[in-house]
Structure 1
Amino acid sequence: MNLAPDFSYESAALIRGHLRIAGVDEVGRGPLAGPVTAAAVVLDPARIPEGLNDSKKLSAARRDALFDEILATAQVAVAHATVEEIDTHNILRASHIAMLRAVALLDLAPDHLLIDGNLLPQGCVLSAEAVIKGDGKCLSIAAASIVAKVTRDRLMVDLAQQHPGYGWERNAGYPSKSHISALQDLGVTPHHRRSFKPVHNILCPQKL
């Protein structure tokens, strides 16, 4: 049983003849507010930062430090899918839209993708494989999870300054008790996902 991600998925792809392998992950499926954010990372095998892991297993300080190391040593791109896109499609489809956007923004196009999850994004035309719980298995996906998490958390801190009271600088838009309470007291902002039940129920209360 692996306790930390390794380079085995990338090595296998290299053996098959792929040259540029990107790990892809997203953050922000569960929040009630804010976009879903994806990152694509092509690691340099000779300069892999030490300590890469699933972003959820790292402290905020460690994520920040690794974020800087990843940007200094790897090819990185980040993209978002908006609240409107989440509400129009669904959160899974929006997550995949963000992933494909991140891949498209890489300076040099990859020739193989390692994508966190059990499904490949609809419309993906590149060679790709889905890796279930990949952020805990695959170094490239772990790096992408860190970049996406740090980027989105910082975005939510910025949005918290524009919409104080919801605690987004602490909860990143996730449905904490204080966030739910603020929704009920302060109402729904343009950054809230109207298709998510707690927000929908405030906008469209059930009549008894």
Structure 2
Amino acid sequence: MKQAGLDLINRGRIAGVDEVGRGPLAGPVVAAAVILDPDHPIEGLADSKKLSEKRREALALEIRARALAVSIVYLDAAEVDRLNIGRASLEAMTQAVSRLDPLPTAAVVDGNQLPRLPVPGEAIVGGDGSHPAISAASIIAKVDRDRWMREADQRYPEYGFAGHKGYGTAAHLRALAEHGPCEIHRRSFSPVRRALSEVSQ
């Protein structure tokens, strides 16, 4: 999906945009937008899911040090429930691009849906593995969200968030059944709704 003026995609300040956290039962959806500096390329950028945690952490530090601009937006579980996860993901990406300083001349977004953007944009399926700026955004978003979930684990240790990052693993589902949902669970997701109904019975 494209917007007009995509001749700008091949020149100017191009922002890569990606989000993480669509699938988890708990925690925020996190979007990042990154404008890389063509004069300071970063080696090893790739889809964050294909990198080790140690490599992601190292690359995130390098991206923050070398990029022209980095923006991160968190939409919490309540916002995910209010908007639904699809709309929340798009809204987070819109905000991430809008908060870049300087504003890019164009944006490339991972996936097949293009959020509302303040600049021309293009959605690229598999872009997190093929476009360096999107890979950088994927890494920043993943590292930040994982850190957020590790901090949440200290507040809610009974759920094991540091291990599964909010995804619906067997251990997480057992904890939900035993303890019921906590504040950061997404009540619009069916396993959480079921746990709520069981607790209220």
Q: With structure 1 as the length reference, what TM-score do the two structures score?
A: 0.89
Unaligned runs of 5+ in 2: 1-6
Q: Does the aligned pair in 2 maintain the 1:80–1:101 contact within 8 Å?
A: no
Question: Which is richer in helix?
Answer: 2
- The alignment of Structure 1 onto Structure 2 pairs a total of residues equal to 191
Give the match for residue 37 of structure 2: 44
Q: Does the aligned pair in 2 maintain the 1:33–1:191 contact within 8 Å?
A: yes
Q: Check if 1:157 corresponds to 2:150.
A: yes
Instruction: Give distance in 1, aligned partners of 2:137 and 2:118.
Output: 20
Instruction: Give distance in 2, aligned partners of 1:133 and 1:109.
Output: 24
Give the match for residue 99 of structure 1: 93
Q: Check if 1:127 corresponds to 2:120.
A: yes
- Match of 1:204, SS state, is helix
Alignment match of 2:22 (pick from 25, 29, 32)? 29
Q: Does the aligned pair in 1 maintain the 2:60–2:139 contact within 8 Å?
A: yes
Q: Check if 1:142 corresponds to 2:138.
A: no
- Once the two structures are superposed, residues 71-91 of structure 1 have per-residue CA deviations (whole angstroms, 9 ceiling, x without a partner) of 000011100112111111111
Give the match for residue 9 of structure 1: none
- Once the two structures are superposed, residues 93-130 of structure 1 have per-residue CA deviations (whole angstroms, 9 ceiling, x without a partner) of 10011111111221211110100110111x32320000
TM-superposed CA distance for 1:46, in Å, is 1.7
Q: CA RMSD in A?
A: 1.2
Say which is worse superposed, 169-178 or 99-108, in terms of deviation: 99-108
- Once the two structures are superposed, residues 119-170 of structure 1 have per-residue CA deviations (whole angstroms, 9 ceiling, x without a partner) of 111x323200000111011100000000000000000000110001211111
Which 4+ stretches in 1 moved above 6 angstroms?
A: none
Aligned-partner residue type, residue 106 of structure 2:
H
Q: Does the aligned pair in 1 maintain the 2:8–2:105 contact within 8 Å?
A: no
Give the match for residue 202 of structure 1: 195
Q: Check if 1:90 corresponds to 2:84.
A: yes
- Match of 1:151, SS state, is helix
Q: Summarize the Cα distance change of 1:27–1:14 in structure 2 as closer, same or farther, 3 Å threshold.
A: closer
Identity over aligned pairs, percent: 50
Aligned-partner residue type, residue 171 of structure 2:
S
Aligned-partner residue type, residue 134 of structure 2:
I
Alignment match of 2:103 (pick from 81, 106, 109)? 109
Alignment match of 1:187 (pick from 165, 180, 186)? 180
